[in-house]
Structure 1
Amino acid sequence: MKSASFIDIANLDEVNASVEAMRASLLGSATAETTSPAKHPAVQLLYKVAHANHEISVVEATQLYELAKALEGFLGAIAPIGRSLKR
């Protein structure tokens, strides 16, 4: 059994996303305004919509769907990295 403060490194991205979502819900849109213009447009979109009571537009929904599909492909492609391949 893992202690309550244990963070599994395999889930670090999920933990970071949860922390950012909690921060956005507590601080409202202030976090969206503080995002750097140097960030990728997809990341900017996620910060923009990742707060409580944000209603997304059709355009944002389409962009989020396309982002999800791209991430799914990317994560599927990198899944074998670091695993020992049997020859």
Structure 2
Amino acid sequence: MDNIITVNSSTARNDFYDLLSAVYLNKKTVVIKKSGVEWGRIVPPNPNKDTFMSYAGFLTEKEGDRLLKLVRTGRNDGSRKKKYLANWE
């Protein structure tokens, strides 16, 4: 597995920018260990994962307006004190 770089926590702190560059540019995974125990990982972004903007235009304008109205109503009707939130029907 030559796509994995293992470093201790001190090295990760001192070389953080270089490690981020390796992750982003070279698609490496950085494993950070402290006293031989894995404490964390830095992994490259997954380009196949859906992003928020990929859903732009998903709703028709009428559906979007209805959803916006429900959200605004929910924010203004004291819903923090309710057991159930807005009625979605």
Larger Rg: 2
Structure with bigger strand share is 2
TM-score (norm 2): 0.26
Structure with bigger helix share is 1
TM-score (norm 1): 0.26
